[in-house]
Amino acid sequence: MREGAAFWVLIPARLASTRLPNKPLADLGGAPMVVRVAQRVATCGAQDVVVACDSAEIAQACAAHGVRSVLTRADHTSGTDRLAEAAALLDLPDDAIVVNVQGDEPLIDPALPAACAQLLRRHADIPMATCAHPIIDEAEIFNPNVVKVVTDARGRALYFSRAPIPWQRDAYAAGPNGTGWALQTAAPPHPVLRHIGLYAYSHRFLRDYASMPPAPLEQAEALEQLRALWHGHPIGVHVTPNAPGPGVDTSADLQRVRAMWSSAA
């Protein structure tokens, strides 16, 4: 067990974004979005909350709002690689727990990073953890942009996919609903879990994970977490009953989150 092991929240932030340029610096209620994410998770019980960024502009914006940051290389191909460098720069101990919170999730529930960290604390044989929540909406189940996960009896991931998994043979039938399928019951007989893109790792595993070669399944699904399963490393899944607040990928997403933020202020 890793009982008592401290955890750090690291927030990867990249200035360039194909769909929303300068996304980490987008204004949200008078502060950059990445700062709002850091402020949101500040109450989760982490030893520290640090933004792992690729530009001095983001670092300066964080400093102006009292948020700690580390400057990493700009050529990382994934947020995981950026976090591995940041953890090394911070000289975290090998048994430290690193929680990866995306920099475009300003409405994230602060309980989720803590729950992921606690999952690793309880199970030393699990080097990586993530979150999921049940979904019954047919459009989400069949939407390839919504990642699904199935787990075993111990709550460990069996597989992640953009396809509707598990395939509910008797609950799904062909139908003219745009997806080519119709849900024949109010809810599938087996819960469908939507993956939430938040991860926790031991620092030792994070360092190893960043150096693992990409896996064929990872490349086929475009899902980086499949790399761990492919190489034989279990992933624990914390299931929360509640869907997280919306993230920000596009300008439309940003306007929606700004409206929600204003109404909550």
pTM for this predicted structure = 0.91
Burial class (CB in 10 A: 0-12, 13-18, 19+), 211: exposed
DSSP three-state, residue 52: strand
Domains and CATH numbers, the chain: 7-132+195-264 (3.90.550.10)
Burial class (CB in 10 A: 0-12, 13-18, 19+), 154: exposed
**Angle, to 10 degrees, between the axis of helix 203-211 and the axis of helix 79-89?**
130
- Cβ atoms 131, 237 nearer than 8 A: yes
- DSSP letter at 223? -
Sole residue written with tokens 């990928």: 249
DSSP three-state, residue 92: coil
Cis-peptide, bond into residue 166, ω within 30° of zero = yes
First to last CA, the chain: 41
Tokens of 220: 């086929």
Pairwise CA distance, residues 145 & 163, whole Å: 9
Pairwise CA distance, residues 182 & 130, whole Å: 30
pLDDT digit string (tens) for the chain, length 265 residues: 466 678 999 999 988 877 788 999 999 999 999 999 999 999 999 999 999 999 999 999 999 999 999 999 988 878 888 999 999 999 999 889 999 999 999 999 999 999 999 999 999 899 999 999 999 888 899 889 899 999 999 999 999 999 999 998 777 775 545 455 566 666 777 889 999 999 999 999 999 998 899 999 999 999 999 999 999 999 999 999 988 888 898 899 999 999 988 876 6
- Cβ atoms 229, 214 nearer than 8 A: no
Contact residues for 246 (Cβ-Cβ < 8 A; gap 6+): 107, 253, 256, 257, 260
